[in-house]
Amino acid sequence: MAGGHVTRGDLAHLAFLQRENDFRHHSYDQELEQYQRVRMGDPEGAVKAMHHGGTGTLSRDPLRNAQYLFVAYVTMATRYAIEGGLEQNVAYNISDLYIQQADRCTTPEAVDELYPEVLAFFARRVAEARKAHVVARPIVRCLDEIDQHLHEPFRIDDIAGALQLNPSYLSTLFKQEMGCTFTDYVRRRRVEVAVNMLLNSDYSCAEIAHYLAFSSQSYFNRVFQRETGLSPAAYRTRYNRRSLVSMREGKTQ
């Protein structure tokens, strides 16, 4: 790297090495699934969907590289655990403890062993937090159904049918338990996922709108700006260069 800056030549060389080694970054869909399971409080599902390792080179030292990747991984898991209802202080304390464990590891293999453990631990604590805050079991199941279908159009009738509940009953119960309407909640969840995609993927705004089942990009832009105060493009520009430390301190929005 000339003068400490990344150049086009550096990127071209990295792409060549990746092709030579048949390296592929896993898709955003694959990465998202494990974190969604954390947010849903599903330890077994999170571990089953787990993807880690081989996601880039942050250091030439194998151990340090493994530790850096683990910090990035735990940062994402922490975000989703908080979205799932885990108290921020608890989530950040878990993050700190596992990063300290990774820092004490002496081999990359030892760091790798922490991935399923931290993922399952976060998911279990989210499940506990959900039970404490959401009394009605149908709403817990409803939230899971919503998360599984964010990438396709659906109505409360569809979710009610899957849960074998009356739509009117589910609508009333949802408002009582969650403090907002079903439609408002789904809209906010889609925006939350869109935020993660804007910050952690290379998908265009149009692709994100389609991926999250918005009827059009213009509608996606309006909804996103109403929820965050910024357009999707402006949000990405403002926040996509925040450091991992800033993310862990909760300074991203």
pLDDT in tens, 33-62: 888 889 888 888 888 888 654 456 777 889
Q: Does 230 map to a domain?
A: yes
Look at the block and give the residue holding tokens 């159904």: 145
Q: Pseudo-torsion of CA 229, 231, 236, 242, nearest 10°?
A: -10
CA distance 77 to 126: 11
Residue 45: its pLDDT value, please? 86
Q: Does 3 map to a domain?
A: no
Same domain, 144 and 172: yes
Of 133, 160, 181, the one marking the end of a domain is 133
Per the CB < 8 A criterion, the answer to whether 201 and 209 are in contact is no
Q: How many domains does the chain have?
A: 2
Same domain, 85 and 147: no
Across 160-172, average pLDDT: 95
Distance of CA 200 to the CA centre of its chain: 9
| C-alpha closest to that of 246 among 52, 238, 223, 145 | 238
Same domain, 205 and 97: no
Of 109, 133, 157, the one marking the end of a domain is 133
Other CB atoms within 10 A of residue 87 CB: 13
Same domain, 106 and 166: no
b vs e for 98-112, b when ≥16 Cβ sit within 10 Å of the residue's Cβ? bbebbeebeebeebb
Q: Does 63 map to a domain?
A: yes
Q: Does 202 map to a domain?
A: yes
pLDDT tens-digit readout, 63-95: 999 999 999 899 989 999 998 888 888 899 999
Q: Which DSSP category does 26 fall into?
A: P
Q: Which domain does 116 fall in, by range?
A: 8-133
Same domain, 128 and 13: yes
Look at the block and give the residue holding tokens 């965050």: 228
